[in-house]
Amino acid sequence: MEYDLILIVAHTWPDDKKGSPPRIGRIINARKAERHERTAYEEGHVRTDR
């Protein structure tokens, strides 16, 4: 069975400070993308660099 799954993920990622130990990002929420979100992603209308 093969299928694609697109998730919408909200997360935090702390700023890296020189000399500090690595920090851990935290997932706030993750859910299956709704049809209009999947379509927007597939057509390239979604920013992924935030």
What domain range includes position 29?
A: 7-42
Residue 48 lies in a domain: no
Q: Is 15 exposed, middle or buried (0-12, 13-18, 19+ CB in 10 A)?
A: exposed
Look at the pTM and tell me if it is higher than 0.75. Answer: no
pLDDT tens for 17-46 read: 777 777 888 999 999 999 998 898 889 876
Residue 33 lies in a domain: yes
- 50 falls in which pLDDT band (50, 70, 90)? low
- The whole-angstrom separation of Cα 27 and Cα 47 is 18
pLDDT for 16: 76
Residue 47 lies in a domain: no
- The whole-angstrom separation of Cα 47 and Cα 50 is 7
Q: Is 38 exposed, middle or buried (0-12, 13-18, 19+ CB in 10 A)?
A: middle
Residue 49 lies in a domain: no
Position 47 pLDDT exceeds 70: no
Based on the structure, what is the number of domains in the chain?
A: 1
